[in-house]
Amino acid sequence: MAVVGRDDSPGSSIPTLMLSDDLGTVLSQDALSAVFQPIVSLGRQSILGYEGLIRCPGNPALATPSALFDLAERQGRLIELDARCREVVIREFARLRVPGQLFLNVHPAALSGDGQITEQTVSSLKRHRIDPDRIVIEITEVHPVRDFQLFQEALAYFRKRDFKVALDDLGAGYSGLKIWSESNPDFVKVDRHFVQDVDADRTKQRFLSAILEIAKAMGCQVITEGVENKREYAMVRKLGVAVAQGYYFGRPENPPAQAVAAHLFSERSERSGTLHHQRLTASSLVHARPTIEPTAKIDKLIHLFNADNHLRSVAVVESGDPLGLVVRDDFMSLMASRFGRDLNHRRPVRHFIQRRCLIVDCDESLEAISQRLTAALNHYAEEFIITRAGDYLGIGSLMDLLGKITELQVTRARYSNPLTLLPGNVVIQQVMEDALAASEPIVVAYLDIDHFKAFNDAYGYGHGDEVLRLLARLLLEHAEPDRDFVGHIGGDDFIALFRSADWAARCRQVLGRFVSLVEPQYSPNDRASGGITATDRFGTVRHYPIMSLSIGALKIRGGHRELTDTRVAELATAAKSKAKKLPGNQLCLDLYPGEGSSAALGAAAEPEVVPLAGGLQ
């Protein structure tokens, strides 16, 4: 958003025409219309408010907002158009009766003018019965602020009347950091340039991380504009962005959508396949909430609670370090008690901190948090503090935690293999896609039991099932819980995705244990003869050795954006086939071809037979 009512729609340049009459018509008649684009709270998974955008549908020459505002600026009528747009947006917002906040664009030139904009806006809101505390004044950085004193006076006027302030298009124009420091906004909207393809651009990721750190220090929220696809959403969420806007969540419309589809918030990037299930962390529970310093007076705390009836607690933070929570019910009960406020009004906030509350890291698993809450007797449990590297990040709630865990358990039950309870093919595919999208070094191991069918036919499916469960337990025991993933493709085929550096040693341990555990599954006679003698499907008497395990491992160093989960499965299958051609328990390693280059996919290199301890070959 550049100026009042502009959005990021592409616009064509307009020939130099005499359009003054057209602009006069626009301003004198009801030729403008308003549309609204949702601004979404990612933590709450709901719409925070809407940005009002202007349209001029009846005039092709001024169809784009850019054309309309450029013409008004050339003719010196920008402030007049700016006021007219605001009136249209406010009127339509009131007519639609949509919930949430209205982000109302104001051109810096209007703020630096004669001061009438503030009175006009307040009057318009009164006429249309909209409370000022629902309005966020959005100021663009694209155009320069020429008089900071008048600019600050106008902002002060708005704030006195309970308006909030947002700085728009950060990074797209003039002196953004100066305006940020001078205006002390409630919201900072990062220009879409820094969001486009952010999932693949480390520089943009670092920029957003820096902005988030500054915003945290200044006590304002960051809104990322221009989120257009799942990859961008997943990355801004991973970086810690709490509020976003873009076509991914909804286009500018009239009437606008009043809810966001739940599936848009599924965060595949947070579902790292750890051990035997998808792993959700505390980062999926973060809610951005106001904080307060321990030296603040209680009047500031009372104001925070009165401003938001849904605020159950406020985190007390000192230089990024969370000290604890002030719980609304406890604090307000104390203030309402006889002499409570008289006795405490001079005391700083530090005297009211509930220190018996849980503080968790954003990378901690939901299961671990649940266990800690269960074990933390006499602790305040309804909400807890979430940190990143020790610094305050946000608040999590017990209800959200229970909801996420329930959802996770349902998902596991739905997509797990009923015999081993390991994730099945749907989750395997999702985990593989996530790992490839993250461009991280991984080893994909495809495991297959040799001579399993002969054993199953001779001893029955009950014994065969026990062997499959045995292998599943072995894999879980030797996978690193916070880094590796184990899945059951079907039958006697399993898959493991290793991020742990000692993956080869783990595979060797599985092979060694499999040898010692599988032999007792045979009768003494079959053990003595080294296997089963049986007739195959062609009527030929054959000897089937005692079951062994073949592992084909595919090592991918990362950075291969052309790889798909289907292609990885093909290459891992090829590595497993090479292992099966060798006698006994084998681990064969293939390296993904063209490492460090963009060469076309081709046949994998010849496998390396990884030596096994104890002569298991």
The whole-number pLDDT of residue 60 equals 57
pTM, two decimals, is 0.45
What confidence tier does 64 reach under pLDDT thresholds 50, 70, 90? low
Inter-residue contact 136 to 49 (CB < 8 Å): yes
What confidence tier does 174 reach under pLDDT thresholds 50, 70, 90? very low
**To 10 degrees, the CA torsion angle through 478, 480, 484, 489?**
30
Residue 600, C-beta contacts closer than 8 angstroms, at least 6 positions apart:
594
**To 10 degrees, the CA torsion angle through 495, 496, 497, 501?**
-150
pLDDT of 476 over the 90 cut: yes
Angle at the Cα of 591 from the Cα atoms of 439 and 200, rounded to 5 degrees: 15
- Structure-token match 């959802």, residue found: 407
55, 16, 60, 53: which is closest to 32 by C-alpha?
Answer: 55
d(CA 387, CA 402): 19
List, for residues 98-156, the tens digit of each pLDDT value: 889 999 988 776 665 555 666 788 888 999 999 888 999 888 754 555 556 666 777 77
Residue 308 phi, psi dihedral angles, 5° rounding: -145, 105
d(CA 201, CA 192): 13
242, 243, 271, 211: which is closest to 393 by C-alpha?
Answer: 242
Distance from chain centroid for Cα 266: 8
Dihedral of alpha carbons 551, 552, 554, 555, sign: positive
Higher-pLDDT residue of 18 and 460 is 460
d(CA 203, CA 5): 30
d(CA 111, CA 126): 20
Angle at the Cα of 143 from the Cα atoms of 138 and 147, rounded to 5 degrees: 90
Inter-residue contact 23 to 61 (CB < 8 Å): no
Residue 68 phi, psi dihedral angles, 5° rounding: -65, -45
pLDDT of 38 over the 90 cut: yes
Within 13 Å of residue 43, how many CA atoms lie on the same side as its CB? 22
d(CA 383, CA 332): 17
Domains and CATH numbers, the chain: 32-266 (3.20.20.450), 285-403 (3.10.580.10), 417-615 (3.30.70.270)
Mean pLDDT, to the nearest integer, of 316-344? 88
The whole-number pLDDT of residue 1 equals 39
What confidence tier does 26 reach under pLDDT thresholds 50, 70, 90? low
Inter-residue contact 315 to 366 (CB < 8 Å): no
Please give the share of the chain, as a percent, with pLDDT higher than 90.
35
The whole-number pLDDT of residue 604 equals 33
pLDDT of 9 over the 50 cut: no
Please give the share of the chain, as a percent, with pLDDT higher than 70.
81
Higher-pLDDT residue of 471 and 58 is 471
Amino acid at 602: G
Angle at the Cα of 523 from the Cα atoms of 517 and 526, rounded to 5 degrees: 100
